[in-house]
């Protein structure tokens, strides 16, 4: 049976080139880059090279890259580190649709004496910039706003957001875990102070992430230990994975201009095909400002987990914001923040493509999905 993987916002296939780049660092180059001998010395320059490659992808300086263990660590380090550096009671501003890796530390800080504002989005998942202006007007704040949403793919206008936050004297962190590798990102033009990156969302393995920290940003280290990462993050460098992330960043930089428009074309074909063949179907999120690889579609009157199990039986991997799959009993917080009606919220299904997706994959999904929706609707008491 054909296998079609359309859950790339959850995790991506590790690129074969990345695996190849990593292998020597398990087998031969296993030294500690901090050591004062040849075993380590030989390794250190590969860490530097990887740092340079990731910096190039973001148009940053290599000294501004801190390697971490994952996107969640990067988000925690940014939000908690900036709040701790700013004082005992800081104003923190974020949005209701952030990933839990940002929301949870923000809410944790609120419980520990900091003040928290969670900005709303509209029905299409767009941020109210006037509300942001109002929120930052009260004085310097730590602001954490995602570059692109993992569930809907909606892209926030980070240039404008950065302008607003910096004009008010705030510190801005952007969770760019979904954006890096899919959208051109240039920190020399967009004045964000910090930016989170996750390796396994861009064809590097799980267990490696990074935080871009603009020079001069006040940040307390999160993981206390040795002098690694310029004293910003303790712990012996995860060399094979750092090398893998560097190679993945290099591949992303080379392919983004050609591959992402192609992926967007496939995504549009999938979306338009499903809207045409399945009645009572809607797209969640602003279609004009969206990641090229993501579509979030609600099949009304059917439930997401049931859709995913049938898709999986057909060899298709997707994801859902329904209650049964969100890890709670309610639909995802993103779908609820957008006010998606209940008729549609539980049947929200996310298809996320990658540069490995091809036309035959999309044709197969377009052929398999409509009968699944029809079968489930035949069971539904609401149809």
Partner 1 sequence: MWNYTDTVLDHFRNPRNVGVVENPDGVGEVGSLACGDALKLTFKLDDEGRIADARFKTFGCASAIASSSALTEMIKGMTLDEAGAVTNQDIADYLGGLPEQKMHCSVMGREALEVAIANYRTGESGKKILEGKVVCTCFGITEEEIRRVVRDNNLTTVEQVTNYSKAGGGCGKCKPDIARIIDSVQAENRQSEAPAAQPHRMTVLQKIRLIEETINREIRPMLKKDGGDLELVDVDGNRVIISFRGMCARCQVAPFTMKDVVEAKLREFVSDELRVEEEKP
Record the tokens describing residue 218, joined without a space.
């006040």
Rounding to the nearest 10 degrees, give the CA dihedral for residues 57, 62, 68, 70.
Answer: 0
Shortest spacing between CB 302 and partner 1, in angstroms: 7
| E strand map for 204-313 | 209-213, 281-283, 294-299
Kindly state whether residue 113 participates in binding partner 1, applying the rule CB under 8 A: no
Contact 266, 359 (CB under 8 A): yes
Task: Copy the structure tokens of residue 44.
Answer: 């250190």
Q: Write down the least CB distance from residue 341 to partner 1, Å.
A: 7
Cα–Cα distance, 375 to 77 (Å, whole number): 46
Binding mask 166-195 for partner 1 (x = CB under 8 A): ------------------------------
Q: Does 282 bind partner 1 (CB under 8 A)?
A: no
Q: Taking contact as CB under 8 A, which single stretch among the options 54-62, 278-286, 323-331, 357-365 is the one that binds partner 1? A: 323-331
Could you give the count of Cα atoms lying within 13 Å of 110 in the half-sphere of its Cβ? 13
Nearer to partner 1, 80 or 350 (CB): 350
Instruction: Report, in Å, the least distance between residue 128 CB and partner 1.
Output: 14
Q: Which residue has the tokens 């740092």?
A: 51
Q: At closest approach, how far in Å is the CB of 63 from partner 1?
A: 43
Binding-site size for partner 1 (CB under 8 A) equals 27
Position 100 contacts partner 1 (CB under 8 A) = no
Q: Is 379 in the site for partner 1 (CB under 8 A)?
A: yes
Task: Give least dist CB 372 to partner 1, A.
Answer: 11
Our CB check for partner 1 shows the closer of 156 and 301 to be 301
Residue that the structure tokens 């080379």 belong to: 254
What SS3 class is residue 79? helix
DSSP letters for 148-175:
B-TTT-BBP-HHHHHHHHHHTT-EEEEE
Q: Does 111 bind partner 1 (CB under 8 A)?
A: no
Instruction: Looking at residues 288 to 317 of the shown chain, list those that interact with partner 1 (rule: CB under 8 A).
Output: 301-306, 309, 312-313
Cα separation, 266 vs 360, whole angstroms = 10
End-to-end CA distance of the chain: 31
- Closest distance between partner 1 and the C-beta of residue 337, in Å? 8
Residues taking part in catalysis: 324
Contact between 36 and partner 1 per CB under 8 A? no
Q: What mask, x for binding partner 1 by CB under 8 A, covers residues 325 to 364?
A: ---xxxx----x--x-xxx--x------------------
Residue 216 lies near partner 1 (rule: CB under 8 A): no
Rounded to an integer, what distance in angstroms lies between the CA atom of residue 111 and that of residue 37? 47
Phi, psi of 166 (to 5 degrees): -70, -35
User: Is there binding between residue 371 and partner 1 (CB under 8 A)?
Assistant: no
Region of 341 on the Ramachandran plot (φ > 0 left; ψ -120 to 50 alpha; else beta): beta
Binding status of residue 3 toward partner 1 by CB under 8 A:
no
Residues that bind partner 1 (CB under 8 A): 301-306, 309, 312-313, 322-324, 328-331, 336, 339, 341-343, 346, 378-382
């Amino acid at each position: 049976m054909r296998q079609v993987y359309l859950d790339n916002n959850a995790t991506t296939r590790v690129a074969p080139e990345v695996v190849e780049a990593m292998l020597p660092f398990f087998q031969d180059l296993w030294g500690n880059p901090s050591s004062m001998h040849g075993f380590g010395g030989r390794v250190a320059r590969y860490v530097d090279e990887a740092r340079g490659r990731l910096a190039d992808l973001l148009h940053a300086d290599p000294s501004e890259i801190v390697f971490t263990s994952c996107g969640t660590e990067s988000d925690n380090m940014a939000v908690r580190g900036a709040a701790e550096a700013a004082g005992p009671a800081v104003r923190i501003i974020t949005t209701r649709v952030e990933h839990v890796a940002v929301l949870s530390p923000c809410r944790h800080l609120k419980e520990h004496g900091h003040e928290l504002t969670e900005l709303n989005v509209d029905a299409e998942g767009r941020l109210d910039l006037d509300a942001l202006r109002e929120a930052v007007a009260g004085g310097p704040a730590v602001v954490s706003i995602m570059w692109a949403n993992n569930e809907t793919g909606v892209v926030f206008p980070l240039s404008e957001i950065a302008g607003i936050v910096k004009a008010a004297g705030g510190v801005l962190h952007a969770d760019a875990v979904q954006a890096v590798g899919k959208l051109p990102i240039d920190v020399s033009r967009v004045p964000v102070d910090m930016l989170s990156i996750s390796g396994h969302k861009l064809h590097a393995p799980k267990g490696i992430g990074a935080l871009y920290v603009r020079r001069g940003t006040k940040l307390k280290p999160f993981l206390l230990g040795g002098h690694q990462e310029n004293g910003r993050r303790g712990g012996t460098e995860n060399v094979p994975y750092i090398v893998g992330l560097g190679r993945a960043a290099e591949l992303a930089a080379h392919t983004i201009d050609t591959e992402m428009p192609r992926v967007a074309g496939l995504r549009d074909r999938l979306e338009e095909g499903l809207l045409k063949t399945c009645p009572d179907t809607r797209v969640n999120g602003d279609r004009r400002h969206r990641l090229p690889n993501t579509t979030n579609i609600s099949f009304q009157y059917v439930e997401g987990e049931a859709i995913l199990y049938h898709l999986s039986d057909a060899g298709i991997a997707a994801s859902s914001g329904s209650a049964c799959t969100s890890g709670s009993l309610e639909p995802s917080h993103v779908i609820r923040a957008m006010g998606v009606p209940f008729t549609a919220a539980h049947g929200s299904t996310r298809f996320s493509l990658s540069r490995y997706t091809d036309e035959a994959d999309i044709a197969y999904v377009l052929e398999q999905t409509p009968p699944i929706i029809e079968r489930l609707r035949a069971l539904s008491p609401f149809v």
